[in-house]
Amino acid sequence: MSASELEQYSCRPENCLATFRVRDKFGDLGLVGLGSICFDSTDRTASIDDFVLSCRAMGRGVEESMLSTLATLAARAGAVELHARYDATARNGPCLRFFEESGMKREANVPGLFKLDLGQAPVIADGITLVGLERTAHEFDPASF
């Protein structure tokens, strides 16, 4: 998406966009991740639309923290389940491994679909502190759609 398309996406009441910055004892890595979800009030599910992480931040617990953050946002909106679709590409293998190891369950009847029961959402990885959970453009409020 272009910057304007991303802004339009984040302004829709059923969508939520989170960005992730990382700083450690060695310095500030800056913006390293983006995650977005779309809430469906008819079946009380949320779907991950984007789960993007810079390779320089992989394997540091950031992935787990991103998933936990998206799960928290979805649960706050009233979702009971979080879905993620894995799209196989030449460079997307780490994403598949992460989904398989994250506690998400692979849907047997739908190739590439993973589900997470939000009653058992993952926790933030040890050693990671979330500094702020900020919203862009609007509060993610299921009553608004």
* 89-123 confidence digits (pLDDT tens): 988 889 999 999 988 999 999 999 999 999 876 66
CA distance 90 to 35: 21
Q: Which amino acid is at 4?
A: S
- Tell me the pLDDT band of 125, cut-offs 50, 70 and 90: low
Angle at 109 between CA 119 and CA 59, to 5 degrees: 55
With a cut of 80, say whether residue 68 has pLDDT above it: yes
- Give the model's pLDDT for residue 25: 80
With a cut of 60, say whether residue 131 has pLDDT above it: yes
* 69-82 confidence digits (pLDDT tens): 899 889 888 899 99
Could you tell me the two tokens for 94?
Answer: 């780490």
CA distance 10 to 2: 12
- Give the model's pLDDT for residue 136: 41
Q: Which domains does the chain have, with CATH numbers?
A: 3-125 (3.40.630.30)
Q: What is the arithmetic mean of pLDDT over 47-75?
A: 89
- Give the model's pLDDT for residue 142: 45
Q: What is the arithmetic mean of pLDDT over 11-36?
A: 87
Largest CA distance in the chain: 46
> Is the distance from CB of 86 to CB of 114 less than 8 angstroms?
yes
- Tell me the pLDDT band of 141, cut-offs 50, 70 and 90: very low
Q: How far is CA 16 from the centre of its chain?
A: 9
Total Cβ atoms within 10 A of residue 15: 20
With a cut of 90, say whether residue 23 has pLDDT above it: no
- Give the model's pLDDT for residue 86: 93
